Structure 1
Amino acid sequence: MYRRLLLALIFAGSLSGPPALAEDKTLTVFAAASMKNALDDIDAAFTARTGVKVSASYAASSTLAKQIEQGAPADIFVSADTDWMDYATAKKTIDEPTRVNLLGNSIVLIAPKDTKIDNVTIAPGFDLAKLAGDGKIATGDVKAVPVGKYAKAALEKLGAWQAAEPKFAMADSVRAALTLVARGEAVLGIVYATDAKVEPGVKVVGTFPADSHPPIIYPVAATTTAKPEAKSYLDYLHSQAAKAVLEKYGFTYLVKPTS
């Protein structure tokens, strides 16, 4: 009797083992730092619906595109600008037919929440350098990080870049710039509106005109090495449920939901 029971348990184990392993699927998503809060919510909902786990890595789009180029095992790439998605496409690390311009955003001028600076009119000729005084202005690296590139483009068009440039503290991502302002290590910062929305330590003191910089567009695509489950993840990003989450965090949803 004991031997029969033992054999039965071994047989049952052999049946249950492989399916359990097969179900343990994980997608790796490389996404722009500004996506963190919204995408964490979306990933949790996607996993609850499909059983597919999501491991997300957040950083500047420039950093992520280069990591993918160097062989990092990403299944999905979400960039905060079209330039770095174009870069990945040129390096043939992106499955181009899956690419979609998913989201829009805006850039804002922020300050620590207890600052006296308020209601800044951002228009041609505004004096950002004077506004910062002896303090620093934080944003992403203007040579590589999308938010920094948008910020520089806007300030150049408004005639404020040359005087303000020496006051800039360049951060390696938009979230790093946001933190500098929240801690009071910078008196001003230029970040996405969605970042300011999730950080209680800062306040928005001005909004950059949409026509002062190139359109802020977030493209998303599967990589050329993506697992088959990447398709269901991209489909979920096109759903009404994902749209609701992204709009709650302040993103502009650029596609028509498919479900």
Structure 2
Amino acid sequence: MLKKVITTSVISMLCISLNAQANVKIYSASSLTNVMNALLAEFKTTSDTDVLPIYGGSSSLARQIERGAPADLFISANESWMQHLVKRGSVLQENVFPFTQNQLVLIAPKTSTLEPFAIEDIRGWQTNIGKGRLAIGNPQAVPAGIYARQTLQSLNVWNAVKSLTAPTSNVRMTLALVERGEAPLGIVYKTDALQSKNVQLITEFASTTHDPIRYPLAIVNTSPESLELAAFLQSEKAQEILIQFGFNSLAQ
């Protein structure tokens, strides 16, 4: 995907009034919850535009938009669900921009006395999962779950552990299962693990074991207020905040 940036000159040409009140709805992948709240707080310091964030699994949000949900902006946790909307005419390809990137990690509860094991070792997975479950996003629909399945397939352990998984509807639910000790292991984004005090990061999976974890941003409604927010989310300041929360720079 080519890098495209919405410049402030575009915003100026559209004669946006920073004093105008507007309710911009941004549908955002649940893995962006913490950082998006911080981004919107920063945005509010220079704009009177009223923004309503709506968080959920990318697949669920994409389907809502496809059915006519009133989204102004949409950020997906993978490119596939964004292209799903492009193919169905809900989003124009020229209104899709790169936003940020993430990494995939294996976590356990903070209090876990995990037995060290090589991630290519089927027996190690089975021993540490024990009578519990491996928490992952739904591997058929949730981006984090899709990446998890790809990784486990790449490690040649998927067939051995797929019956031991506990699929969830979004990555935040996966994280919660591990935080509460209801799952001995879970696969989530690095940014989720870094924000939680109740889990320990066991290992970071090599990026070669799964598709690139890229978050595209789409402008669904090209109102001046939507473009104003989109421009901010593409700004250097926004990128600084994303990096503070553990996301990867678009330059990587």
Q: TM-score, normalised by structure 2?
A: 0.88
Aligned length: 234
C-alpha spacing 1:24/1:79, structure 2 compared with 1 (3 Å): same
Check the 8 A contact 1:178/1:191 in 2, yes or no.
yes
Distance 1:190 1:28 in 2: 29
Structure 1 match to 2:189: 192
C-alpha spacing 1:41/1:159, structure 2 compared with 1 (3 Å): same
Structure 1 match to 2:225: 229
Distance 2:77 2:228 in 1: 22
Matched, 1:97 2:94: yes
Structure 2 match to 1:132: 129
Matched, 1:158 2:128: no
- Larger fraction in helix: 1
Helix, strand or coil for the counterpart of 1:147? helix
Helix, strand or coil for the counterpart of 2:187? strand
Distance 2:87 2:127 in 1: 41
Check the 8 A contact 2:27/2:71 in 1, yes or no.
yes
2:84 maps to amino acid? Y
Structure 2 match to 1:37: 34
Distance 1:176 1:51 in 2: 33
Check the 8 A contact 1:31/1:77 in 2, yes or no.
yes
Helix, strand or coil for the counterpart of 2:46? helix
Structure 1 match to 2:43: 46
Distance 2:123 2:31 in 1: 27
2:167 maps to amino acid? M
Bigger Cα Rg: 1
Residues 204-253 of structure 1, C-alpha deviations (whole Å, 9 max, x = no match): 11111110111111111101x34221111111111111011100111012
Quick one: percent identity of the two aligned structures?
35
Structure 2 match to 1:122: 119
Query: Which residues of structure 2 form unaligned runs of 5+?
Result: 1-18
Distance 1:118 1:247 in 2: 32
C-alpha spacing 1:98/1:126, structure 2 compared with 1 (3 Å): farther
Query: Which residues of structure 1 form unaligned runs of 5+?
Result: 1-21
Residues 146-176 of structure 1, C-alpha deviations (whole Å, 9 max, x = no match): 0000000110110111111111001110000
Check the 8 A contact 1:154/1:212 in 2, yes or no.
yes
Distance 1:233 1:124 in 2: 46
Structure 1 match to 2:6: none
Q: What is the deviation of 1:23?
A: 2.9
Helix, strand or coil for the counterpart of 1:68? helix
Residues 67-96 of structure 1, C-alpha deviations (whole Å, 9 max, x = no match): 001111000000000000000111111132
Moved more, 121-130 or 107-116: 121-130
